[in-house]
Amino acid sequence: MPISVVMMVATTIFDWHDLPFHEIWCVDTEFYPGAGLANGATHGDAMTPLCIVALEMRSGRLIRLWQDELGRFPPYCLDNDALIVGYMLAAEFGFHIAKGWGEPACALDAYIEFRHYVNDGAVKSGDREKGFFGVGGALRYFLEDEIDVVRKEEMRDRILQGPPFSAQEQRDIVAYCEDDVRALARLLPHIVPTIRSLPHTMFRAKSQWTVAQQERRGVPTNRPLFTRIRKHWPGMQLDLVTELDRPFGCYEIVDGKPHWRKELFAGYVRRNGMVWPRHDSGALDETDQTFREMAGRYPQIEQLRELRYSLSKLRLNDLSVGQDGRNRASLWAYGTKTARNAPGSSQYIFGPAKWIRHLITPPPGRVLVHRDYCQQEVRIAALLSGDTALLQACESGDVYLGIAEQLGFVSESMNMDERKAVRTLFKTVVLGIQYGLGARSLAVRAGISRYEAGEILARLRARFRIFEDYTQRVLDHAGLRLEIGTPFGWYMQCPPSINPRTVRNFPIQSTGSEILHVACILAERRGIDLVAPIHDALLAEGPLSEVEDLSHALDQLMGDAAALVLRGYRLPTDYQIVKPGEHYQDERGAAMWVTVTRFVAKLEREHVA
């Protein structure tokens, strides 16, 4: 179905029997990585199909196929008369791709639709009980009998080990797979009445096909170097702290082990005259998110953040790199309130530790093209609100300096360092006003007085009053309707207890999400091999000889996706090309990367000696 049609057609169906399909198949599959973990495979290896169970809801027909019974074609139709239903369809679609089966014309992901139905903007992700978004949690939510979670984990662990499987294990695994299918069949009658628009639901399922393709391809990395880093990681941590913490002095070495000390960090902040967010108790806010935000004001902090995160949370053994050197991890599409992906940070190479990304490199004869939207969020804010002054600032070249200049904070007499400081300040300002950053918070994050922060915000609201009026209308709409949504049918519940900043930020973030989903679908249609989506960017792989064509095609489709969602406006993109022998660059992790690789070489020389 053309995406333009998806945007216009809406349906409401209260009984699954009324779904406009001759056949409705509930499907579940089982698979293991590579040859199986017990046979030397790793979690990053491409999946190997093991079995499939499918139940046709109208007739009750049940299909159970083991590995040696899987044929060249799926055991059900893939045309417009059949609806394929799964729970986290990226897994089932990955099974299809591994077997060379095609993409279903019509599909429904009960996992995404359940997340959509319970998408409460006032509930934090950590407030949900463990397993809430699993099929068992969904059944429990609708007061249905749950599944045996313990048995499910035991069976899944056995499957991951791979062959050989005894005759009894085969029977048990297929029975376990059938249990999941029947659980899905019990869940579907509850999910269907929650669907506001079937075409939008099918669009979301279609995006899962693109996710499955990306998960199958994986991100190419320098696996030999990764193996060396992982081997020496425990032995180099003390050296890393000794060198990278030298400008900060926030770690204490006790019995040969580095320990983060709050009082030392507080002393560093005080000595350098830094203004740092605090908790109500008065203690400094040391969350990783705060470190990321403050790195905008104090760039030197990024090095400390990378070091701190890497030592406290980074688990190199969890990074899913297969024997072919490709990083494969679940991308968890629509895993956030705003419909963005939510990949596991420890398995995915584009997690919070930026230096790890430098491991990304194409194999011989191949090339990687990374394109990201330029100042996407601010441009979306201008377009959604219809604020031509804000859009004009975006198109001036540098939106942050452009806005600063409009407000009278840039003069011709400023030198390069002064202009850079103003740009850093207004980047904090501009990104903050999207979600309603107040004078006190701006003063803390920007390191200025509350009076200066208030003056800046007052000038911003006066200059971009159309955007300010728009955000107030968004809040009014959410308060009256108790929900807010996108043209592609993704809604967030807005109860009275919701944080207004969450509401203000939703239209911008969710629109960015929809653009990326559309871009991924267009890429598959146009034969562009995407290997990773990264927030507002895409990473594609292709033949080295076609690098210019690939870069142009990626730019074209990203512009087309933006134009489709933003009613004709094409968002510009920037790019990075990575050729064989080169590695992906991210300046935020550059210092850590250089230090880590140097220490690896040092430890290896010492070992040889």
Give the DSSP per-residue string, 475-532. Answer: HHHHHHHSEEE-TTS-EEE--TTS-HHHHHHHHHHHHHHHHHHHHHHHHHHTT-EEEE
- Same-domain pairing of 201 and 283: no
Which of 300-304, 350-354, 591-595 has the weakest average pLDDT? 350-354
CATH number, domain of 188, equals: 3.30.420.10
Count how many domains the chain has: 2
pLDDT of 607 higher than 80: no
Residue 256, Cβ neighbours under 10 Å: how many? 7
- Same-domain pairing of 102 and 249: no
Residues 216 and 206: their CA atoms lie apart, in Å, by 16
From 217, 240, 266, give the residue that closes a domain: 217
Residues 566 and 511: their CA atoms lie apart, in Å, by 8
Which of 7-11, 366-370, 448-452, 474-478 has the weakest average pLDDT? 7-11
pLDDT of 445 higher than 80: no
What is the predicted pLDDT for the residue at 312?
Answer: 81
Residues 363 and 594: their CA atoms lie apart, in Å, by 22
pLDDT of 264 higher than 80: yes
- Same-domain pairing of 47 and 91: yes
From 175, 197, 217, give the residue that closes a domain: 217
Stretch 452-480: mean pLDDT, rounded? Answer: 90
Per-residue model confidence as pLDDT tens digits over 163-184: 999 999 999 999 999 999 999 9
Percent of the chain with pLDDT over 70: 97
Per-residue model confidence as pLDDT tens digits over 554-588: 999 999 999 999 999 999 999 999 999 999 999 88
Higher pLDDT, 3 or 522: 522
Contact 423, 401 (CB under 8 A): yes
Assigned domain for 443 exists: no
- Same-domain pairing of 151 and 232: no
What is the predicted pLDDT for the residue at 9?
Answer: 42
Assigned domain for 23 exists: yes
Per-residue model confidence as pLDDT tens digits over 201-244: 999 999 999 999 999 999 999 999 999 999 998 888 888 999 99
Assigned domain for 494 exists: no
Assigned domain for 124 exists: yes
* Tokens 């299809």 belong to residue: 96
What would the two tokens of residue 319 be? 């990074």
- Same-domain pairing of 164 and 73: yes
What is the predicted pLDDT for the residue at 162?
Answer: 97
Higher pLDDT, 190 or 414: 190
Can you give the pTM of this predicted structure? 0.90
Contact 460, 429 (CB under 8 A): yes
Residues 78 and 205: their CA atoms lie apart, in Å, by 14
Assigned domain for 433 exists: no
Residues 140 and 425: their CA atoms lie apart, in Å, by 48
Dihedral angle computed from the Cα positions of residues 375, 378, 383 and 385, in that order, rounded to the nearest 10 degrees: 180
Amino acid at 524: E
Residue-wise over 384-405: b if at least 16 C-beta within 10 A, else e? Answer: bbebeebbebbeeebbbbbbbb
- Same-domain pairing of 96 and 193: yes
Which of 225-234, 445-454, 528-537 has the weakest average pLDDT? 445-454
Which residue, 206, 186, 195, 198, is CA-closest to 113? 195
What is the predicted pLDDT for the residue at 494?
Answer: 97
Stretch 505-521: mean pLDDT, rounded? Answer: 96
- Same-domain pairing of 93 and 9: yes
- Same-domain pairing of 227 and 286: yes
What is the predicted pLDDT for the residue at 433?
Answer: 73
Per-residue model confidence as pLDDT tens digits over 75-117: 999 999 999 999 999 999 999 999 999 999 999 999 999 999 9
The radius of gyration computed from the CA coordinates of the chain, to the nearest angstrom, equals: 26
pLDDT of 602 higher than 50: yes
Per-residue model confidence as pLDDT tens digits over 385-442: 999 988 988 887 788 888 888 777 888 888 887 787 778 777 777 777 777 778 887 7
What is the predicted pLDDT for the residue at 11?
Answer: 56
What would the two tokens of residue 575 be? 């790019």
From 217, 232, 262, give the residue that closes a domain: 217
- Same-domain pairing of 101 and 123: yes
The 8-class DSSP code of residue 85 comes to E
What is the predicted pLDDT for the residue at 6?
Answer: 36
- Same-domain pairing of 70 and 212: yes
Which residue, 535, 595, 490, is CA-closest to 372? 535
Assigned domain for 157 exists: yes
Which of 37-46, 144-153, 319-328 has the weakest average pLDDT? 144-153
pLDDT of 8 higher than 50: no
Query: What range defines the domain where residue 260 resides?
Result: 223-359+587-608
Assigned domain for 419 exists: no
- Same-domain pairing of 139 and 249: no
What is the predicted pLDDT for the residue at 528?
Answer: 98
pLDDT of 491 higher than 50: yes
The 8-class DSSP code of residue 22 comes to S
pLDDT of 349 higher than 80: yes
Any alpha helices (H) in 218-359, and if so which ranges?
223-244, 262-271, 288-297, 301-312
- Same-domain pairing of 256 and 273: yes
Assigned domain for 32 exists: yes
Which residue, 65, 59, 114, 66, is CA-closest to 86? 114
